[in-house]
Each structure stands twice: as C-alpha cells, then as structure tokens.
Amino acid sequence: MNFQLHSLSSSNHLRPTDILISKEVSAMNYAHSKRDPLTRKLLPKEQWHGLDSHSEGTANLSGKFAGCFKCEILGEILGYVHDYGKNLLDFQHRLEGSKLNVDHKTMGALAVYEHYPFPYGLIMAYAIYGHHGGLPDHISRGGVPGLHDVLSKNKFKIIDNIPPHFPELIGNTIPKRAPTTNKGMSRSLWIRMLYSALVDADYLDTERFLHAEKAAARQSFMLLKQLSMLYQKKLDGLLSSSLDSVMARARRRVMESCLQKALGPKGFYMLRAPTGSGKTYSSLAFALKHAEQQNAIENRVKRVIVALPFTSLIEQTVGVYREALGKDNLNTVLEYHSNIVIEPSVENELDPRLLDSENFDAGLIVTTNVQLFESLFASKPSRARKLHRLANSVIILDEAQTLPENLLLPTLAVLRCLVADYGVTVLFCTATQPAFQASWLDGMQPIEIIEEPGKLYSELKRVNTTFIGRKTNLELAELIISNGNRVLCIVNTRKQAQQLYSLLTNSKQIEKSDVYHLSALMNADHRAVMLEEIKSKTKEDPCYVIATSLIEAGVDIDFPVVMREMTGLEGIAQAAGRCNREMLVEKGMMFLFESADYPSPPYAWYSGRAKLAKFILSRHPDPLTPEAVEEYFQRFYFQEMNQLDKHGILRNLNGAADEYSFQFREIAEKYRFINEDTVSVVIPYNTACREILQQATDSRYPTSFSRKLQRYTISLYPKELEYLHKKGRLETIGSAIYYLQDTEGGFEGEINDLYGDRLGLKIYAEEEG
C-alpha cells in the first residue's frame, strides 16, 4: 500500500506542528524527475525515478555499507526512510515544475525519531535530516535551527498503519561500541559512519538511474589482491638484492620486520626507522601483507589508505608506488589532494580518478592528513561521504610527528575508535616517533615493528650535528660558501630566506646561477620546476640552496652539508634527512644555529620547540637518537598538555555523550589543520595559469576554477597582502579569486618586477647583480 502525505499548505485542517500520513491510496510517487539532455524539457513520468525504487535501491546499498561495521539493519532503515518526505504533494508538484521550496528531510527524521527508541531514533534522525545539507548541530546556534528544535516543534502522526519499511530493531543485531573513556567521540563517530553510508548510497543510487554510464565507469581501480600480486615482484627484487652496503642491509631488515609483524592482529603498529631506511616501500609491504592475512581470516579488508602531511610528499610517494606497481597503469593508485585537478567535463566526466575520489572507492589511496582527518570531523555530505570506506582498512600515517598538537587528543581518540569499532589497523610511520601516552589511545599499546630502533639508528648514523650559536646573515653566507660547493641552508621564515639568498647571489665568490631559493613565496608549480633543476645537478656541480622548512619532507635531495636554524627536534630530524642521505660520504655535517638578525619571536609556533630542542642538545650529544627524541616529545607534550585539545572538541563531545547532543557543524568549524589567517593569491607566471584565469573570468561560476588554480597560488599573511594592495597589484575575479595583476592591470602581461624566476614573490628582497 502506498501512503499519501499531505503538506501543511494543502491540508488546512492540520495544526502547524502536525505532519500527517493518510491511508489514501495515491498515484505513484517519484524521487527524481528526468529531463531531455538537449532540450532540458521534462520527459514523461514513465521515465522518472520511482520513489519506491529509489528507497529500496538506497536501502540495499546503505545496508551493505553499514554492514561493514555490523550495522546493516540501521543502514537499511536509513535508506528506506531518508526520502519519505518526497511523498508530500508539494514535493511531487515541485518535480513537475512548481517553484515551491519543499523540506523533505524533516519527515523522515521525525518518522525514525518517533518510531524507534532512544538512542536509535535520534541517531538515524541526525543522518536523515542532514543527508543533503550536512549533519546538523543538536542545539540551535547562530539562527540556524538545531535538530532538537526541529524534532520537538514538529509532530509526526501515523494514521492506523505503520509506514512500510520500518523493520523492528533487535537489540543483539546492533553491536555495542567498545568500552572507552571517550564516549562522545565513539557515539558521534557512529552517527558519522551511518551518515556516510546513507549519503554515499543515496548519491550512487541516484547516479545509477540518472547517469547510468557514469555509474558503470566506477570501480576501475585495482583490488588489493591484484595490487599485492604486482607488488610481490618488487618485493622479491628488494629482498633478493645482492647489494651489501650498510644501507642496503638495513633496508632489507626493515622490510623483513614489516612482513613478519604484518601477520599480527588488527590494531596499532609503530614503525620507527631513520630517514632513508626504506619506510615508503616497507610500510606498503606491511599494509598489503596485513590485509592479505586478515582476509584469510575474515574477508573484509578492501583498501589501504596512506595519509601524509604535504602534497610534495604525496607526489613523491605516489611516484614510488606507481613505479613499483606498473607506472603505465594509472588505476593502481588513487592520488587525492588539492593539487590534483580532475574537473568534470565532457571529456573526462568518466575518469575513474574523479569518480572514485568522491568516495574513496579504490584499493590503494594516497591522500593528505587534511583530507583524512578533516573528513572524520566534517559535517558536509561531500566530505563525509567517504568515511564508511575507512571501515576494515589499513591506514598508514607517515610523518606522524606532524599531527598538529592543538588537535592531538581528538585525533588520537578518533583513530582509537576506528581501531576498536571499525576493524581498522593504523601504522604510525616516522623517523621521530612522538611519545604518545597509552591513555590517549584508551590503553591500546602500538606494536613496535622494529624491536631495537636504537640499534638500527646507530647502524645508519650518517650525520654529525654541531650547534654553532648565533649567526648574522652575513656570517651565514660566509659559512655556506666556506663549507664546500654543495650546501643546503634551512631557515624559519621566508623573509630571512629571501634576504640570505640575495646576499649569496651578490657574492663574487660563487656564481649566481648556482644559488637557489625555495619557499612558500613561490607557487607549487614553480617550486616543482626549481626542484627538478636542483635534482639534475651532479654531486660535483656547485649547488647552494636557501630554503624554508617546506623542503624538509617529501623532497628527495642529498647534500653533504646542511645548516639548520634552531627549531623543534622533529624539524631538525627532517633536515638531517636531506644530509648524506645516500651515505656518499662517511659522515655528513649538520650545523644548527640561531639567527642574530631575525631572532624567533616568542609567539611563533617554532619558538617554544626550538627552546626545548636546545635543552635536549645540552643533555644529548646526538639529538637524533631515539632516547633524545622520546625525551623531547615527553617534555613537549607535558608543556603543551592544556593545548592538546585546544578547542575543547573532545571535552564537548564527551560532555554531550549521554544525551547524544552533538554540535556537528560547530565541531567541523573547530577541527581545522590549515591556518585560516592567510589568503591564497594566484600567480599568473606561466601560460597554463593565465589560460585558467581567463576561463574563470569568462565563467558565471569562477569559484569552480579554484581547485585548478591551486598549484599556482601562494598563501599570504595580512601584512604581505597589504603590501600588494599598496602597490595596486591585487585584483579579484568574482570577489573570490585573488590574483597578482601585471603592470597593465591584467594577467596577460609582465609580473617580473614583483615575481622573479628564482625568488618568487619579491616582498622581502630584490634580485640584484
């Protein structure tokens, strides 16, 4: 039997707080209309998407997705009921062309809330009410109604019969969450996972009807079993290599340890190994072997997700994986980050990279920490859609020390929930493993893959570290020139980088063309070009590089001498990773210094870290030993204890746990990896960038080009932005995209007076000589 729903506007006898379902048999209702792709005219209703068909299709998918974390029945209910409000006559009229705005989400939310007991009714109400606009706050805030008000101010009446597809909940069919000290995190993540299953199912079923060709093009990426077979060839070569150097032996040891520990149970694992010891290859070997082992027990592990802090590191890692798995096959690795531009178009709308990036439907995914973790705390459906794909996955967190300390406790708490309730294995992978306290993971103890990391470090020690005190830029320039013909110098600010570069290029002792500058005042595309030029240099070629910390991860370069301004120990270790990387000399030299010209301001994020690192140096002759690193992080976390959940995310979630009163939108606003104090400015420094800017200018929707322009942007702080304002060289497209104007006021002409080929945006120094 079909049930006809009457909207308030068509049922004057109803009270304004009543929503009524009548027993009257109605004509068939629809979920989606369909239009001729050329004329845009409505097609006959026989070609529309029936509501019953859509509800059943969504329920089947949502149940399947939620079944991955043993909540199949909840997923099915969500699918059946999510569009229940589309039975409203006003909604059906809207499909026929009416301009009325119709709220169809409230009906389904009310239905599950009133039909099912607490907390199940409320849990499902969150998901249904937010399946288009995003997970709501429970309590109203800033004029936006919260779910509590929506549910309490409306009433759902069922006349005589319970609507179809309201199966009864059997308590033992829904597993309890694992015991935890963070109940709020556990319960809110449960809602997010169910929400993700519903949103993805809704999108996919709609796409299957409206865009069948697009739906058929999905799932083009290789499965884990296929990837494992391809990777085995690479492993055989690495393990059977005849190379007998210290580095080669150490890399085989790391690989063998990963393969052995991969046979263990799901949970947390920790790979502590020095830079250059083959962590990229070995961590993937662990993940694929672990997935194979778990699938022999319970066939659930579908994907491996590698999360890294920087896009440069991602691009390098993906290159390594594709070389190992078959570089000519793009369907081995799904690369997903802000510099990957796959915009829908007639030519590429069926590109599997575009389709599968929407919901992480691939066997091997390489993404950023920002994408992974902000999605775990997001409220928008487009970002949360992928979450259910994390269930029963293996997650590799490379450079784990880069997790922001102000979000550390909620980040570790959500990882613990993924492991405890969703069958996830997490591998922390780093050269400087942070000293996480057991309580932060609810007592779960990560399994060490390398049983004697200190011994491995001693075997691979290839850098001697010396603190040389305070130095002016002039003194630094003299030291750089006097320490051979290949020197890397890393400073803390881009202002100092530009001015030190200018000093060197004006020196008569070295050729200007042998000096390079790398900082965030150069856009990503420009930096990539310069890095390729630096890498092309042989070990005999003179090469002097002045850089900021962006060079410290994901940049595979090797210098016999590295100079590093004092910073945290994690930064010092990363700088050491660029020194004597391939052990081409017996010992590389790393000189640590403090800047006399640009002393660290006390409010700078690196200032406190640098002070602590200097203290560790006074206690440990070699600050990079595992013992020194552990002491550094223990002291650092003790000092920052009140800042490890700076925004009170975990505290607020746990305080709302018993009532399931979660502020999802508010949490999404607070959980941000990226500094919001900067503004992105496009630098039209080459033809490709200028062509995209022209397309944005001509478009009615210029913001849709923002992602394509990502590789050409630099992030400017307010004072730097003001500098361009005063110069009259800052312009916008559609009040959304900032770009550097040329000297004629456009973007087709010269910008070299402000943006140099070697220096980038010349705010702090001018190229001379």
Per residue in 20-53, pLDDT (tens digit) is: 443 333 457 888 988 888 888 888 888 899 998 9
Average pLDDT, the chain: 86
Residue with tokens 């519903």: 198
394 membership: H or E segment, kind and range: strand 394-398
| Residue 765, pLDDT score | 65
Distance CA 97, CA 176 (A): 46
Q: What is the pLDDT of residue 165?
A: 60
Least confident of 17-26, 690-699, 724-733: 17-26
pLDDT of residue 168: 73
Q: What tens digit of pLDDT does each residue of 476-486 get?
A: 999 999 999 99
pLDDT at 346: 32
> At 766, is the pLDDT very low, low, confident or very high (cuts 50, 70, 90)?
low
pLDDT score, position 358: 66
Residue 14 has pLDDT above 50, yes or no: no
The two tokens of residue 702 are 């210029």
Please determine, for residue 354, whether its predicted confidence score (pLDDT) is greater than 70.
no
What integer pLDDT is reported at residue 745 of this predicted model?
87
CA distance 592 to 470: 9
Q: Can you tell me the distance from the alpha carbon of 292 to that of 301, in angstroms, rounded to the nearest whole number?
A: 8
The highest-level CATH class for domain 224-451 is alpha beta
pLDDT band at 402 (very low <50, low <70, confident <90, very high): confident
Burial class (CB in 10 A: 0-12, 13-18, 19+), 426: buried
Beta bridge partners of 588: 463
Task: Report angle CA 102, 105, 107 to the nearest 5 degrees.
Answer: 95
Is the model's pLDDT at 344 over the cut of 90?
no
DSSP-derived 3-state class of residue 401: helix
d(CA 397, CA 415) in angstroms, rounded, equals 11
Total count of residues recorded for the chain: 769
DSSP alpha helix (H) spans, 7-154: 51-67, 72-81, 89-95, 105-115, 120-129, 147-153
Q: Which helix (H) or strand (E) holds 470?
A: strand 463-471
DSSP strands (E only) in 51-176? 155-158
Please give the average per-residue pLDDT across 373-387, as a whole number.
Answer: 93
SS3 state of residue 546: strand
In DSSP notation, 152-207 reads HH-EEEE-SSPPSS-PPP-GGGSPPPPP-S-HHHHHHHHHHHHHHHHHHHHHHHHH
Per residue in 183-225, pLDDT (tens digit) is 999 999 999 999 999 999 999 999 888 887 777 777 667 889 9
Please give the Cα distance from 329 to 339 (Å, whole number): 20
Contact 593, 469 (CB under 8 A): yes
Same fold for the domain at 224-451 and the one at 456-643?
yes
pLDDT at 328: 66
**Number of Cβ within a 10 Å radius of residue 348:** 12
**What is the rounded average pLDDT of the residues 508-530?**
92
For range 538-560, the mean pLDDT: 87
CB 760 within 8 A of CB 714: yes
Section 284-297 average pLDDT: 94
Task: Quickly state the pLDDT bin for 705 (edges 50, 70, 90).
Answer: confident
Q: Please tell me the predicted confidence (pLDDT) of residue 219.
A: 64
For position 123, what pLDDT does the model report?
96
- Mean pLDDT over residues 646-671, rounded? 96
Task: Enumerate helices (H) and strands (E) in the chain, giving the number of each.
Answer: 27, 24
3-state helix, strand, coil in the chain (%, to 5): 45, 15, 40
- Angle, vertex CA 277, rays to CA 275 and CA 280, nearest 5: 85
CB-CB contact of 241 with 252 (8 Å): yes
Least confident of 114-118, 407-411, 645-649: 114-118
* CA gap 543, 739 in Å, rounded: 32
Q: Please list, in sequence order, all residues whose beta carbon lies within 8 angstroms of the beta carbon of residue 737, skipping any fewer than 6 positions away.
A: 682, 693, 696, 702, 703, 705, 706, 709
Which one of 261-265, 358-362, 457-461 scores highest in mean pLDDT?
261-265
DSSP 604: S
Amino acid making up residue 641: M
Nearest to 412 by CA among 436, 388, 389: 436
What is residue 420's predicted lDDT score, i.e. its pLDDT? 96
CA distances from 108 to 36, 117, 135, 440, 478 (A): 30, 15, 14, 38, 72
Return all residues near 568 (Cβ < 8 A) that are at least 6 apart: 606, 609, 610, 612, 613, 632, 636
DSSP 235: H
pLDDT band at 602 (very low <50, low <70, confident <90, very high): low
Which helix (H) or strand (E) is 532 found in, with range?
Answer: helix 524-535
pLDDT tens-place string over residues 234-247: 898 888 877 778 88
Contact 591, 479 (CB under 8 A): yes
Spatial distance between the Cα atoms of 56 and 58, rounded to a whole number of angstroms: 5
Q: Give the whole-number percent of the chain exceeding pLDDT 70.
A: 89
pLDDT given at position 584: 82
Tokens of 242: 């005849």
Q: What does the pLDDT average to over 443-466? A: 90
How far apart, in whole angstroms, are the C-alpha atoms of residue 268 and residue 631? 22
Architecture of domain 456-643: 3-Layer(aba) Sandwich (3.40)
Percent of the chain whose predicted confidence (pLDDT) is above 90: 52
Contact 195, 82 (CB under 8 A): no
Domain residue extents for the chain? 4-211, 224-451, 456-643, 679-761
Which residues are registered as beta bridge partners of 427? 269, 396
| R_g (Cα) of the chain, nearest Å | 29
DSSP state for residue 84 in the 8-state scheme:
G
What is the full DSSP assignment across 473-519? HHHHHHHHHHS-SEEEEE-S-HHHHHHHHHHHHT-SSS-GGGEEEES
* Rounded-to-integer distance, Cα 488 and Cα 551, Å: 10
**What is the per-residue pLDDT across 207-216, written as a single tens digit (0 to 9) for each?**
888 887 777 7
Taking every pair of Cα atoms in the chain, the longest distance, rounded to a whole number of angstroms, is: 94
Q: Mean pLDDT check: name the lowest of 5-19, 259-273, 569-583.
A: 5-19
Query: Average of pLDDT values for 494-508?
Result: 93
Would you say the C-alpha torsion 679, 685, 686, 692 has a positive or negative sign? positive
Rounded CA-CA distance 134/511 in Å is 57
Beta-bridged to residue 32, according to DSSP, are 49
| Cα–Cα distance measured from residue 419 to residue 564, given in angstroms and rounded to the nearest whole number | 38
More confident residue, 653 or 249: 653
- pLDDT value for 434: 82
Residue 9 has pLDDT above 80, yes or no: no
